[in-house]
Amino acid sequence: MLSSILLSSILFSLASSTGHLRLELTASNVFYLQLRTNFNFQTMFMIMGNTRIISFHPKTDQPSLEYGFSRRAASVLRHV
């Protein structure tokens, strides 16, 4: 399923000394994107050609950011 979704997104992550993470995503297809940490969960509907900017302020005990995407909101493929 992952190969069926063409995701040529431009991903910029900017980290400052405060630990702020900024993601700028441009979708090449229509899909749902989920971003999850221990304390934060977001689901976004991405439209082809549109750019979305997402910001996170991770805590010290949040070592990872989990993401997933799918064509339907109910069946999301997850990655860590």
Q: What's the domain range around 24? A: 2-79
Structural domain total, the chain: 1
**Residues 32 and 71: beta-carbon distance below 8 Å:** yes
Report how far residue 1's alpha carbon sits from residue 60's, in angstroms, rounded to the nearest whole number: 34
CATH number of the domain where residue 66 is located: 2.60.40
* Whole-prediction pTM: 0.55
Distances (CA, A) of 73 to 4, 30, 31, 63, 76: 16, 11, 8, 26, 6
pLDDT tens for 10-41 read: 333 334 445 677 888 888 888 888 888 777 77
pLDDT over 70, % of the chain? 55
